[in-house]
Structure 1
Amino acid sequence: MSISLALAYYGDDFTGSTDALEFLSRAGLKTALFIEPPTPERLATYSNLDAIGVAGLTRSMAPDVMEQTLRTAFVELRQLGTRHVHYKVCSTFDSSPIVGSIGKAIDVGQEIFQKSFIPLLVAAPSLGRYCVFGNLFARMGIGSAGTIYRLDRHPSMSKHPVTPADESDLRLHLAKQTTKKAGLLDILQVVKSQESIQNAVTSLLQDNAEIILFDALYEEHLLPIGELMDSYGHPQNPLFLVGSSGVEMALGKYWAKKGDLQPVTSWPNPGKASPLLVLAGSCSPVTSGQIVWAKANGFSEIVLDAQQIHDHATLGAGLSDYVQKAIDQIRQERSVIVHTAGSSAQQGITLSSEKLGTALGLIAKEVVRQTSVKRVVVAGGDTSSYAARAMGIEAVEMIAPLVPGAPLCKATAPGSSLDGVEVNVKGGQVGAEDYFGVLLEGRVF
């Protein structure tokens, strides 16, 4: 690229942030994903970056806390001289008026960036996420052959413990979170000429639309959307975008078409890393099925007591027994899965993402310190951000794609046992039944 940074994004959780990292890396942009917005001095220690991301925590925050966090982050990202600043959300649009409000992020972003409109692209066809006439549809499990459901009828998302999906029309969903008017460039308009698309956007703006939602059903629909979005970007006046990693896919496709990028189509095979350490904070039925598969295929299981985690969130006060059990199994060359097995629900305990994620991260940090583990997997979008912080991770960079939407990465973690270790984080909906087996074997798809 002819500019220092093509794009900077702020992810509302860690798993979604690695998803965007993957598609930027695939597009040919050297990208690093940070846990906190990097200072210019720290950024300078990472050579030849084309894009950066920040893995935030806002998906689990109340709106007032989100506003404080995002105001600072957006200002810092704007000052990097990038063409685009993307607020990256989950492709199932996890949010509500009281938790992880995407509407609040839009309000803060518009106040800081002051653009004529905010593009909203949630569809990501390669991940099984489709938007048609403003309604979002999602496949059951990313990287699988699961059934596709309208979001409010999705067996997992409609029953999400924090942000259950009760509306598939994203305009109506957003109307509960922001007063800004949302227009729609529907699927019949997306397939027309670029001139027609621009005219449709102009018409929506004349109708006072402040947000424009883009439909997309097939991969080829992303290219014209990327071209339109890029036309509004500028290093001194970056475009503020909201959406899934479909944003990175769309822009990457357009930059490749222009000849600015050479997409990466071949990746080195990272190979097997045994034993594997898995930490699961997800209560998704997809992840539950993966745990069942792993147990049937030689993985050892360590079940955390939710009450104990609720009462104690430091290594010296309740986690040491779990650490020792994991170490014992790993020294016997057995891969290990550490999880709660739904015990919080069974015991009637409200176990916060922060407490569970922190506990999982502390367990991982100590187990890696005392063993030969070289690859760690964290499952759970709401818990992974806290787990990464507890592990002392500063940034990750992609090594190879093993499952769509969940790349294998190398961690930079100064002063931590995780420094240089391979890490993989996945959302609850990601992966086929044998997900943990794929990560153990290190097979590039």
Structure 2
Amino acid sequence: MQRNKLLLIFYGDDFTGSTDVMETLAINGIPTLLFLKTPTASEVENIQLKRRFGGSKLRAFGVAGIGRSLDPVAMQKELDPIFSALAKFPADYFLYKVCSTLDSAPHVGNIGTAMAVALKYFPSTQIPCIVGAPFLNRFVVFGNLFARLDNKTYRLDRHPVMSLHPVTPMQESDIGRHLSRQTDLKMKSVNLLQMQSGLQDAEVSDQTESDPKLIIFDTLSNDDLQFLGDHLYNSWQGGTQLVLGSSGASYGLAKYVLSQENIQEGENIGGAEIVSQIFVVSGSCSPVTERQIRYCLDLGFAGVRMDVIKLIARQQEYLLEVLEEVAEAFRSGRSAIVYTALGPSDPSIHQIQGMHEVNLNAVLGPGAAHLFAEMISRFGQIRCVVVGGDTSGYVSRQLGIYALEMLAPIAPGAPLCVAHATDVRFDGLEIALKGGQNGKDDYFEKILKGH
């Protein structure tokens, strides 16, 4: 059967997760670009890659979205025109990319809403659901989701960060039970024992049922991902197969294609140049980010706390105060990091948790974008980092960046990228969009060094 021109297209429900998919494909030799708005056919055909990992012709691309931060009505309005446009591209697979900690709830980031819209444009009798990403320390065992923090692995509903997430606290580790609160789709779990038997007894090959069904796969190791990549590739039946999952799904598929097509893994991938200063804005309350902030403060970074309550109350006036403090640090030759919290126990978390009437992402995101735009206007193209998936989405859109390409791998799921933008101030901007849980303590130092 003739394969499509493109291997994969994807929609990421937040920005940091979208760069994660791009990275897993690029480092495995699949030329990939991440668009920040839905591209036209001409844009995809004629785009000039700035870094050519795996070749000069796109084999995969995605659209970075903000679906995770939207209520179901807004989400449907956001996704319908994007999916309609993406369905016109000839691709073997469409991946609706979710976080490997499955950040979602009935009222925000509803995955059931996303699947209902996706099935209109990518009809599939079975929807493989591959959430685990062992290379990011996220595992699925007997249908339950686990995540490692430091040296300890937690069931997700007992995870010290995800169970206390300020927007989507995880209250259920069983993926099927968690998703059943968001969708009426039928579901089936395929566990490791069934996978070890070659899926012979898992009943995942029968695609004769008329009603779509989610097939939730266990993933304990990276080998499991490659096994599932094999399954995805060889069970393809034409058209565009809908897939629900994290970057584990793209990793598995890319690894399998790599093994079959004799692609040079990591071809032409190196580091970026060392720079003397970077500018970071963090909207994360993760303990991982907390350690990263404290590490760079010990290196001499200027730390500027951004009070979210003050930002809500007097946005423009308060942003100017923050901006002047950051600019003073840059003039003195220091890197700077603006942060809203130092870890999950920060007093600010308790202050904002009860503010249900305020869309915090819609306040913090534009505020962060304003800071980046003003700093670049004053100091030229500085290397930038945005921490927090929802914040990253707003920042990128407001800077007018229309596409990202991987520049250098820094930490799994959090590469340094180069921006494609119509505004010359931001075209070629080196920027990293990092999830709160990604990277080791020295992540920001590695951004400075470029590797």
Q: Scaled by the length of structure 1, what TM-score is found?
A: 0.92
How far off is 1:368 after superposition?
A: 1.4
For residue 176 of structure 1, the aligned residue among 177, 181, 185 is 181
Q: Deviations over 1:423-444 (max 9, x none)?
A: 001111112222212212222x
Q: What pairs with 1:125-140 in structure 2 (closer than 5 Å)?
A: 125-140=134-149
How far off is 1:176 after superposition?
A: 0.4
1:41 is paired with a residue of what secondary structure?
helix
1:27 is paired with a residue of what secondary structure?
coil
Q: Deviations over 1:86-125 (max 9, x none)?
A: 1000000000011101121112222332211111000111
Distance 1:169 1:346, change over 3 A: closer
Q: Deviations over 1:186-215 (max 9, x none)?
A: 111112236x27x63136976977110111
Distance 1:223 1:85, change over 3 A: same
**Which stretch of structure 1 is more off in the superposition, 103-112 or 154-163?**
103-112
% same residue: 39
**Which stretch of structure 1 is more off in the superposition, 131-140 or 35-44?**
35-44
2:203 is paired with a residue of what secondary structure?
helix
**Structure 1 partner of 2:286:** 284
1:165 is paired with a residue of what secondary structure?
coil
Matched to 1:20, the amino acid is V
**Structure 2 partner of 1:40:** 41
Q: What pairs with 1:23-422 in structure 2 (closer than 5 Å)?
A: 23-47=24-48, 48-140=57-149, 145-193=150-198, 196=200, 200-202=203-205, 210-233=213-236, 237-259=239-261, 261-264=263-266, 267-313=269-315, 317-341=317-341, 344-345=348-349, 347-348=351-352, 350=358, 352-415=360-423, 417-422=425-430
Distance 1:51 1:260, change over 3 A: farther
Distance 1:152 1:438, change over 3 A: same
**Structure 2 partner of 1:15:** 16
2:368 is paired with a residue of what secondary structure?
helix
Native 8 Å contact 1:58 1:66 kept in 2: yes
Matched to 2:425, the amino acid is S
Distance 1:308 1:275, change over 3 A: same
How far off is 1:351 after superposition?
A: 5.9
Structure 1: distance between partners of 2:124 and 2:154: 34
Structure 2: distance between partners of 1:420 and 1:312: 33
Q: Deviations over 1:106-152 (max 9, x none)?
A: 12222332211111000111111111100011112xxxx53211111
2:42 is paired with a residue of what secondary structure?
helix
Q: Deviations over 1:49-71 (max 9, x none)?
A: 11111110000100111112212
Structure 1: distance between partners of 2:164 and 2:332: 39
Distance 1:184 1:367, change over 3 A: same
Q: Scaled by the length of structure 2, what TM-score is found?
A: 0.91
Q: Deviations over 1:232-269 (max 9, x none)?
A: 4467x200111000111111122112216432266222
